[in-house]
């Protein structure tokens, strides 16, 4: 018997495909226009990182400045600190997010009372709709040194009041708690959708074999959630050098004492632009952030693809 040869199927011409599916492509046009206008055209502003910006010349006609903006950024002495803070916070956020979101989705799925299940899911999802401005106001009113609710309770019990906004060591724990409080409900929806789409026959077969609820979670649910988890982690790693601006700016407020432990690249770029008005240096910081994100996601996806191509993004 001869070897089976692969038959190459000729692809139809591009314009023939367009004529055949013109209605579907027309429905896609608003999304394409939106991405081009709000994502690709603004990318041309990256040239500001290499220019000495002035208002007369604007973005495209200001004089070129070479790498001087990047030199000024390095000389400032804060770039390493904010980069470190951004990475460490995001590593903790990603780790806690995976554990809490997956765990909460599994717990909700195990609830048998439908009314309680819907109620619990709604209350978990509610913090996602609270803006960081409101969350920051809540934190301030609870932990304010003079008028905060927490300090009124502490002093009422005969203890000394706690000044949160002058205690840098407490902020990493508070920021992690606030991030988990706000994002867990929203993130668990993805895992819950993945759980409900699983083949229920394998759970029924496991029950017939005498498997306990914990054994089904350990050997069936969690392994089935790994592909979803890997995709979400890879997407999160792509933004590992981007901080949640609302979290770090609205809750911390402007405090030089807290900057060494709460300042991230996003808040640093914002303060740099507000304080100095140097658009070029701020653009250089944003370009630095974007390049690091691109390198990180490429490396992470390459490692995952080498380990298991099915879990890779592309």
SS (H, E, C) 161-194: CCCHHHCHHHHHHHHHHHHHHHHHHHHHHHHHHH
Residue pair 241/86 in contact (Cβ under 8 Å)? The answer is: yes
Q: What share of the chain is helix, strand, coil (3-state, %, to 5)?
A: 75, 0, 25
Average pLDDT of the residues in 50-61: 85
Q: Which residue has the tokens 């913090």?
A: 127
Alpha carbon distances (Å) from 174 to 85, 104, 135, 158, 181? 15, 20, 12, 24, 10
Residue pair 100/290 in contact (Cβ under 8 Å)? The answer is no
Full 3-state SS string of 237-297: HCCCCCCCHHHHHHCCCCCCCCHHHHCCHHHHHHHHHHHHCCHHHHHHHHHHHHHHHHHHH
Query: What residues does 51 pair with on adjacent strands?
Result: 64
What is the structure's pLDDT at 90?
93
pLDDT tens figures, 85-114: 999 999 999 999 999 999 999 998 888 888
Q: Which bin fits 210, alpha (ψ -120 to 50), beta or left (φ > 0)? A: left
What is the pLDDT averaged over residues 196-221? 86
From first CA to last CA, the distance across the chain in angstroms is 37
User: Would you call 235 helix, strand, or coil by DSSP?
Assistant: helix
Q: What is the pLDDT of residue 175?
A: 93
| Residues ≥6 apart with Cβ < 8 Å to 18 | 25
Which of 301, 41, 120, 209 has its CA nearest to residue 311?
Answer: 301
**Residues linked to residue 64 through DSSP beta bridges, in sequence order:** 51
Q: Which two tokens stand for residue 38?
A: 């709000």
Return the pLDDT at 8: 59
What is the model's pLDDT at position 9?
58
What pTM was estimated for this model as a whole? Answer: 0.83
Let me know: does 143 contact 166? Beta carbons within 8 Å. no
d(CA 283, CA 292): 14
pLDDT at 3: 53
Task: Look at residue 266 in the predicted model and tell me its pLDDT.
Answer: 87
- CB neighbours of 115 closer than 8 A, spacing ≥ 6? none
Residue 1: the pLDDT is 45
Looking at the predicted structure, is the pLDDT value of residue 297 above 90?
Answer: no
Q: Is the dihedral of CA 72, 76, 79, 80 positive or negative?
A: positive
Mean pLDDT of the region 264-283: 84
pLDDT, residue 53, reads 85
pLDDT digits (tens, 9 = 90+) for 169-193: 899 999 999 999 999 988 898 898 8
Percent of the chain scoring above 70 in pLDDT? 96
């Amino acid at each position: 018997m001869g070897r089976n040869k692969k038959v190459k199927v000729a692809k139809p011409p591009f314009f023939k495909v367009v004529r055949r599916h013109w209605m579907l492509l027309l429905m896609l046009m608003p999304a394409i226009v939106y991405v081009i206008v709000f994502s690709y055209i603004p990318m041309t502003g990256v040239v500001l990182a290499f220019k000495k910006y002035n208002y007369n010349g604007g973005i495209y006609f200001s004089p070129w400045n070479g790498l001087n903006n990047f030199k000024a950024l390095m000389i400032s002495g804060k770039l390493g600190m904010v980069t470190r803070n951004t990475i460490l916070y995001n590593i903790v956020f990603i780790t806690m997010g995976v554990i809490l979101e997956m765990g909460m989705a599994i717990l909700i799925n195990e609830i048998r009372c439908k009314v309680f299940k819907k109620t619990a899911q709604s209350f978990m999802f509610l913090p996602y709709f609270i803006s960081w401005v409101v969350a920051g106001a809540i934190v301030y009113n609870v932990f304010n040194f003079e008028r905060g609710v927490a300090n009124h309770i502490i002093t009422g019990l005969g203890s000394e009041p706690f000044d949160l906004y002058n205690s840098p060591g407490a902020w990493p724990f508070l920021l992690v708690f606030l991030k988990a409080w706000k994002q867990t409900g929203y993130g668990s929806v993805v895992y819950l959708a993945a759980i409900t789409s699983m083949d229920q026959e394998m759970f029924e077969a496991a029950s017939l074999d005498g498997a306990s609820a914990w054994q089904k979670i350990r050997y069936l649910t969690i392994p089935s959630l790994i592909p979803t988890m890997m995709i979400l982690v890879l997407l999160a790693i792509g933004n590992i050098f981007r901080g949640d601006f609302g979290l770090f700016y609205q809750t911390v407020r402007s405090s030089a004492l807290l900057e060494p432990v709460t300042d991230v690249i996003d808040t640093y770029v914002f303060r740099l632009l507000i304080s100095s008005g140097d658009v070029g240096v701020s653009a250089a910081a944003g370009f630095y952030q974007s390049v690091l994100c691109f390198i990180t996601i490429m490396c992470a996806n390459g490692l995952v693809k080498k380990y298991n191509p099915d879990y890779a993004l592309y």
